[in-house]
Amino acid sequence: TQLLEQSPQFLSIQEGENLTVYCNSSSVFSSLQWYRQEPGEGPVLLVTVVTGGEVKKLKRLTFQFGDARKDSSLHITAAQPGDTGLYLCAGVRRDTGNQFYFGTGTSLTVIP
């Protein structure tokens, strides 16, 4: 069982639709990050959330850190084909500060 579970695992939507990806854990995290990975490349950081309840916006992407610091969500408004990719949450657990954990990943396809 992975420490960070993401849902859904796969998502295929039409251009212009909205979507939400969830990242859940039973553990408390000091911070959570969201990365996006394109085929043949390594993950690239999108955002870091640090404070429980924090909301950050990056253009059409909205990221939220749960109040209890155990979960996070990524909401995309009016998805575009360029949003296609693998989305990964990741974080540093509060009680094991040096080890980095990644989520199981959500593969998003936006159809033109």
Q: Which is nearer to other proteins, 43 or 85 (CB)?
A: 43
Q: How far apart are CA 2 and CA 27, in angstroms?
A: 11
Q: How far is the CB of 6 from other proteins (least distance, A)?
A: 7
Binding region for other proteins (CB under 8 A): 2, 4, 6, 9, 30-31, 33, 40-45, 48, 50, 88, 90-92, 97-105
DSSP string, 25-75: -SS-EEEEEEEEE-TTS--EEEEEE-STT-EEEETTEEEEE-TTSSEEEEE
Nearer to other proteins, 58 or 78 (CB): 58
| In the complex, least distance from residue 109 CB atom to other proteins, rounded to whole angstroms | 15
